[in-house]
Amino acid sequence: MKVRSARINNHKRTFEVRLPGRVLDYPFVRCRPEPGAGDAVVEARPNPEMAGEGFAYALASGRGGAVHVEEVLAHCRDAASLRGLLLYWLPLGAQRRVESCGLSRREIIRRLGTLPAQIYRLLDAINSRKSVGGMLRLLHALGCDVALVVSGRDRATGSRR
């Protein structure tokens, strides 16, 4: 996802990051080096060295940094980004289980009642064209339990309770 622009909002102490179809705020405190009262942000722009998938900022001291769009999406808890992370980590767990469970690929295919191509697609962590439901069916066929934890966050700090 390309960053179209990054604006400085000193009042809110955030960068306003414009993405296709939306604008997200990214706080200064998450940046390294962190902008401060004595070292203000003087410039923010999409970073061509990141193929436009991030932005760079410059501080008054001459220091600066860069932020990738995935950091912004993760901070804002973007649903599509979280789904992508889930569909990356679940296949990695399934791959480890396939190696350790002793079942043949043919037996896994039989248990799921599907085609071999479907199993290979589900086990491919890079391929995002799969459903969470399909991953859960595969993990169940492999004898895995999957636990998703839902916890509250403190509104002021964003930290978990």
Give me the amino acid identity at 52. Answer: G
Q: Please say whether the beta carbons of 87 and 65 come within 8 A.
A: no
Please give the average per-residue pLDDT across 24-38, as a whole number.
Answer: 93
Mean pLDDT, rounded, of the chain? 91
Q: Please say whether the beta carbons of 25 and 18 come within 8 A.
A: no
Domain-wise residue ranges, the chain: 5-75, 79-141
pLDDT digits (tens, 9 = 90+) for 71-103: 999 899 888 878 888 898 999 999 999 999 999
DSSP string, 47-58: -GGGTTSEEEEE
- Cα distance between residue 78 and residue 63, in whole Å: 29
Please give the average per-residue pLDDT across 54-81, as a whole number.
Answer: 92
What pTM was estimated for this model as a whole? Answer: 0.62
List the structure tokens of 81. Answer: 């980004």
- Cα distance between residue 49 and residue 145, in whole Å: 42
Mean pLDDT check: name the lowest of 44-48, 94-98, 102-106, 146-150.
146-150
User: Can you say whether residue 27 is alpha, beta or left, with left for phi > 0 and alpha for psi between -120 and 50 degrees?
Assistant: beta
Largest CA distance in the chain: 65
Q: Please say whether the beta carbons of 70 and 18 come within 8 A.
A: no
Residues 6+ apart with CB under 8 A from 62: none
**Beta-ladder partners of 46:** 55
Asked if the model's pLDDT at residue 156 lies above 80, the reply is no
Residue 44, number of CB atoms within 10 A of its CB: 23
